[in-house]
Amino acid sequence: MEQINSRSLAMKRILPIVMVYAMMVVLAIVANIINPGFLSGDNVYSIFKQIAFLGIACIGQTLVILTGGIDLSLRYMILFSNVLAAQMINGQEANTLPTFLFIIVVCIVVGLINGAGVYFLKIPAMIMTLATGTALYGITLLYCKGAPGGHASASLGSFVNAKYFGFINGGALVWIVLSVLVILLLNYTTFGRSIYAVGTNRESAMYSGINVPGTYFAVYIIAAIMAGLAGFLFLGYTQSGYLSTASSYNMDSIAAVVIGGTNILGGSGGYIGTIAGVGIMMIIESLMTLLHMEEYGKQVVQGVLIIIMLVVVYGRKNKR
Amino acid sequence: MEKTRKPWLFADRHNRSLLYRRKSEVLLVYAFVIVMIIVAALSSDLFLVTRNLRNLLNSNVGLLIVTFGQLFVITLGGIDLSVGAVISVVNVTTVTLITDDPATWALAGVAGVVCGAVIGLINGLLVVKGNMQAIIATLATQTVFFGVALFIMDTPSGSLPSELSKFITKGWNYTVPVLIAIVITIVVWFLMNRTRFGRSVFAVGGNEQAAESSGISVVKTKMLAFMTSGILAAIAALYITAYATSGNPLIGESYVQRSITTVVVGGASLAGGKSSVMGCIAAVLILGIINNLLNLLGISSYYQYVLQGVILIGALAISASRSRK
C-alpha cells in the first residue's frame, strides 16, 4: 500500500514536469513550422545568448514563490545592478571585480530588508518587495541622474559572449551551473526541504523545528543576488546600461515559474519545471522577433499563450 | 434589524471587540493622514492654499475609484493586476470615439464602462472556470489588454473637447470631482457593508469553504467582484482621461501598484476577508499628500520613488505591529 502511494506520489510530481517539457518541444516545432529556420543552429545559439538572464533571475523567483511569497523587486534589482555596473566599471578592467563584489553586498542588504519585512513585520511579500523595488528604482535614477552612462569592460563582455565548447556562451554556462546547483539544493539539502516546508505551512514548519526566519532570509538574499548577477551579466551582453533593462522581467519570471508548474501559493514545484517555463517564454519571444511583430501584437500573443498554457496547467489540477 | 447593523458570522461578544479593533485600525490610518497634513503644512507655505488643496483633491479622484475596484477583489482574497490595462484601454477608446459632438460623449462613456465590465468578466471566468489564481489570471489579461491599448493607439495622441474635461475635473467651481468622489464612495460603502453581495465578498475572502457551505454562491460572488473591479477601473479611467485630456496607451501602468498599495495601507489583508472603505480614502489621501508635498518642495522625482517605498514600508510596519497584538 505504502509503495503504491509513494509511486503515485512520484508520478504526480513527475507528470507535470514531463507535460511542461512536452509543451516546450511542441512549441519549438510549431515555431519551426511557422518560421522555417527557427531551429537552425544560429537561432538556437542566439536564444541561448539571451535565455541566461531570465533563467538566472527565475532561480530567485522560484525559491521565493516556493516559500509562498513573490518577488516584485527583482526587475529593479536587475536594473540597479546593470546601471550601477556600467557606470562604476566604465570600461576599466581593474574596476570589474570590485564592482561585482559591491553589487553582491548591496544585493545581500536588499535581501535582508525584504526578508525582515516579510518575516518580522509580516508585510505581504508582494507589497514588501514592491516597496523595496520602488525605492531601488529611485536610487538607480538618483545614481545615474536619469541618464545611465559608462560601459562594460572588455573582459566582462568577452566572458559573457565568448563561445565555450563550440556551442555555448559564457552567460548560458553560468546559468547552467547555477541551475544544477539550485536543483541539487532544492532536492537534496535540509535548506531545500525547509523551503518546501515553509511554503506548505509556515506554522507546522516552525513547530517541526525548521529554522523559519533563516529560510525566509536566505531565500530573499539568494533572490536578490541572482537578480544582481543577472543584471551584471546583462551588462556584458548589452555593453552599456539602459533604463529599459529588464522592464518585463517581473511578469516574465512569474509567468515562467508558474508555467513550469510551481504553485503560486508555494509549497510545490521546483526549478526543473521553471527551466522549461523559461524556455517557453524565450521561444515565444524569439519567434515574435523573427516575425517582426509589432509591440502590441507581441503582448497580445504572449498574454493569450500564457493563458492557454496556464489553463492546461491549472485545468489539470481541477480534475484531480 | 439589530442583526444587520453588526458584522455577522461571529458571536456577539467576539463581534464587538473585532469591530473595535477594525475601527481602531482605520482610526490609526486617519491619524497618519492628520500627521501628514501637519508635516506638509509646516514644511511648505503653499500646502494649505485653496488652489493646492483643490489640486490635491481633483488629481486623486481617479486613484480613489480604482482603489475601490481593487478593494472588492482584495477583500475576496484575490488581486487585480489588470486595472492598469483597463484604464489604458478605456482611455484610448474614449479619446478615439469622442468628437466635438456631445452625442459621442455619452456613447464613449458607455463603451468605456462596457470595456471594463468585459475585461472583468474575462478575469472572473479565468479564475472561476480556468481554476487560476487571481494574480496569474490578471497578470495574463493585463499583458493582453495593454497590447490591445497599444493596438488602438500606439503613441500618445488625440485630445478631448476642453469644455468636457473642464466640466468633469473643475466644473461648478471644483465641486464636480468632489461630488463624483462622494457619490462613488457612498455607493461602494453601501455595496460593501449593506448588501448581500458585499457580505458574500467578505465571507468568501474569510473562508471560501465555509462561505460555500453556508449557501453563498462563491462562483457568482467572484464573477461579480471581478466585474465590479473592471467597471470601477473603467469609471476611474473616464475621470483620468478627462484629467489628462488626451490619449496615452501607457497611462494606466502606475495605477496597478498604487491601487494595491492604497487598499493595503487602508487596512485590508491580502489574504482576504478584511478591508475598509473608509481606510481606502485615508490611504489615497496619504499617497496624494506625499506626492503633492514632494512636488511643492521641488524635490526631484527620483527621491519621490525612494521616499514612497520607505513610507510605504513604515506605514505597513506600523499597521502590522498593531494587528498582531
Topology, domain A15-315? ABC transporter involved in vitamin B12 uptake, BtuC (1.10.3470)
What's the pLDDT score for residue B325? 42
Q: Which residues of B touch A124 (CB under 8 A)?
A: 264, 270-271
Inter-chain CB proximity B79 and A126 less than 8 Å: yes
Chain B residue numbers touching A146 (CB-CB < 8 A): 302
CB B145, CB B89: distance < 8 Å: yes
- Residues 136-175 (B) with a CB less than 8 A from some CB of A: 136-137, 139-151, 154
- Give the residue from B305, B318, B321 with the most A CB atoms within 10 Å of its CB, the best one to mutate: B305
Neighbours of A9 (CB within 10 A): 10
pLDDT at B6: 47
State how far residue A151 is from chain B, nearest Cα, in angstroms: 22
A159 vs chain B: nearest CA distance in angstroms? 33
**B86 Cβ under 8 Å from any chain A Cβ:** no
pLDDT for res B3: 45
Q: Which of A73, A295, A307 to mutate to test the interface with B (most CBs of B within 10 A)?
A: A307
B291-314 residue pLDDT tens: 899 889 888 878 888 887 887 787
pLDDT in tens, B178-232: 999 999 999 999 999 999 999 999 999 999 999 999 999 999 999 999 999 999 9
Which chain B residues contact residue A300 at CB under 8 A? 143-144, 147-148, 151
Tell me whether residues B302 and A138 touch, CB distance under 8 A: yes
Angle at CA of residue B233, ends B231 and B236, nearest 5°: 110
DSSP per-residue codes, B153-192:
-SSSB----HHHHHHHHHHHHHHHHHHHHHHHHHHHHHHH
Q: In the block, which residue shows the cell 578592467?
A: A93
Domains, chain B, ordered by start: 20-324 (1.10.3470)
- Kindly list the domain boundaries of chain A, sorted by start residue: 15-315
Of B131, B146, B149, nearest to A314 by CB-CB distance is B131
**pLDDT recorded at residue B19:** 58
The nearest CA of chain B is from the CA of A127 a distance in Å of 7
State residue A3's pLDDT score.
Answer: 56
Distance CA B312, CA B325 (A): 21
Q: CA-CA distance, B143 to A126, in Å (whole number)? A: 19
Name chain A contacts of B275, Cβ cutoff 8 Å. Answer: none
Chain B residue with the nearest C-alpha to that of A145: B302
pLDDT reported for residue A319: 38
Q: Which residue has the cell 456613447?
A: B107
Residue B144: predicted pLDDT: 92
Which residues 6+ apart lie within 8 Å of B55 measured at CB?
A: B292
Residues near A61 by beta carbon (within 8 Å), at least 6 away in sequence: A70, A71, A74, A223, A253, A254, A256, A257, A274
| Cross-chain CB nearest to B139 (options A136, A146, A251) | A251
Q: Around A231, how many Cα atoms within 13 Å sit in the side-chain half-sphere?
A: 36
Given an 8 Å threshold on Cβ–Cβ distance, is B316 in contact with A137?
no
Predicted local confidence at residue A318, as pLDDT? 44
Do A141 and B126 lie within an 8 Å CB cutoff?
Answer: no
Chain B positions touching A136 (Cβ under 8 A) are 309
Regions of chain B where pLDDT drops below 50: 1-12, 325
Indicate the SS3 state at residue A216.
helix
Q: Mutating which of B306, B310, B321 best tests the A interface, going by the most A Cβ atoms within 10 A?
A: B306
- Selecting from B140, B151, B305 the residue whose C-beta is nearest the C-beta of A141 gives B305
Judge whether B217 is closer than 8 Å to chain A, CB to CB: no
Cβ count near B301 (within 10 Å):
12
Which of B135, B305, B308 minimises the CB distance to A264? B135
Chain A residues lying within 8 Å of B79, measured CB to CB: 126
- Mapping DSSP to helix (H, G, I), strand (E, B) and coil, where does residue B271 land? coil
**Chain B CA closest to residue A142:** B302
pLDDT of residue B298: 86
| Full pLDDT tens readout for chain A, 320 residues | 445 566 676 777 788 888 889 989 999 999 999 988 888 888 888 888 889 999 999 999 999 999 999 999 999 999 999 999 999 998 888 888 999 999 999 999 999 999 999 998 888 888 899 889 989 999 999 999 888 888 888 888 888 888 887 778 889 999 999 999 999 999 999 999 999 999 999 889 999 999 999 999 999 999 999 999 999 999 999 888 888 888 889 889 999 999 898 988 888 889 999 999 999 999 998 888 888 888 888 888 888 888 888 777 666 554 33
- Helices B253-265, B218-244: inter-axial angle, 10-degree rounding: 120
pLDDT number for residue B232: 97
This prediction's pTM: 0.87
B229 contacts B298 by C-beta, under 8 angstroms: no
Q: Tell me if B187 sits within 8 A of B69, measured CB to CB.
A: no
Query: Residues A57, A314: contact at Cβ < 8 Å?
Result: no
SS3 (DSSP) at A248: coil
| Three-state DSSP class for residue B309 | helix
